[in-house]
Structure 1
């Protein structure tokens, strides 16, 4: 089914950038913004100055603060809110969702308390089959995409035809989407990379170089893949765009909120100081590290980097002690 109208619920950096991607690919796009003044600015000036200043948005992209208007007649609904607020937001919108619309998650995390992936939250709250839910994951730094720098991504859905429909709806000269049916692997890659990026940022803040970064990235990928294997993901997914691709971009780029947040911690900021410096931008890994660690423990999966990041963010562990703890672990085979 051709996707001609898309609702994007959320007007942050990634929601706005992805809305631009879709509009540049042809479909009509209506964004929902929580604040009416943001919706008015987008519609009237074609700019979202609070999140993507200086980026001109296409003429076929409008915005509203009324979710009913955004959702009316939508063939696909893109959910672009922080992972820990997805449930409450979707609960308020569920009666407005078009019955057969494809529900697309941009959120990357594991829900606190329930330990559910975002697609599982969507299925539960909206009361839809897994075949109606898709996720987008990959090396997708919002600012680079918004200015038209080439990138690729993965659209994962158990219904391959739906994934292909979405693929056509967001393919253009700078954005190349691939399809996948491994929703579990794509979601875990997207959630865990935020935590590993925090660790890379901490190391950078302490002045460590590329060897350290490469080691954290590689061992971070290993523990992500271990969790994926325990939950039934395809191991090859973690070698692709939603695994290694997203991990490298998020761990290496100063545009990454999680990397930047971790760097502040590595330089000596407290959690509160780092949050204040983020100016309202959400570093998903700060909260998700707790739920990912709990999920790993429930499946008897060893995730030492995630455990260490959780210790720094929530248990009073110093960044320097985290490094010592990781280096002092028992020696073992690389594949363990």
Structure 2
């Protein structure tokens, strides 16, 4: 069935829902990731190798959510944006979505080897190359997205309706296989193995089990939650690409598939809002740094007041 027919049959209520969800993701995703970046840069002296990946993850999520106003404008019925604008917005969104996937994989792997091989000199040297790994991820995601963008532009130039089209090039067999294996399968496998390795190391650690300072159950719960969020956000999107590939001709695809695809992409975008909650604000170290910075700013503000207010600052030092 054609894109136009499908859009006419599934329009108003869905568009309101998409515009609402994208607005929420944009507001909270941008706010949370910017807050995380501020905290990371204020504590640059105590920055770990894992934090390097988190900084790049926050940047990738910010770039992704910055494309959402175009989708809000489109789904909100405010008009049809310029097709080139839509294409570039889609390119940035997908490029940074896969950048986030690879960075989440690196965070899981880095945490695993740091816990499982804490004394290995090779692991220590390897972890110091976090910036090089991040640079490679940016080159990989950008370099592979540009050909897809130009291929899509040439294939859809006579049938373009901003975000109302079925994905054409991404559902071709050759592109789909590389996407499912490199863009999703390998990261998912690494995350599962890293999560299993972390849980196993924590369960076998006598120091962790006997320490009152480390809550092993909370750590295990956080690891499982991170993996569950990854699956929740990205699995539906890749399943939909697989289902769309089963219909070789777009004219034979039912309208329900286009609707399901748009929902799966929306769910994938939720990851930009969930990443800060799962990886930054839930860690004890991050929350402690955030509290210290908040107190420090309050102290600096109070230091400009008159000497008569000195007593009011006393509770901050206790």
Q: Normalising to structure 1: TM-score of the pair?
A: 0.27
Which protein has greater RCO, CA pairs closer than 8 Å, 6+ apart?
2
- In terms of fraction of residues, the more strand-rich structure is 1
Choose 1 or 2 for highest CA Rg.
2
- In terms of fraction of residues, the more helix-rich structure is 2
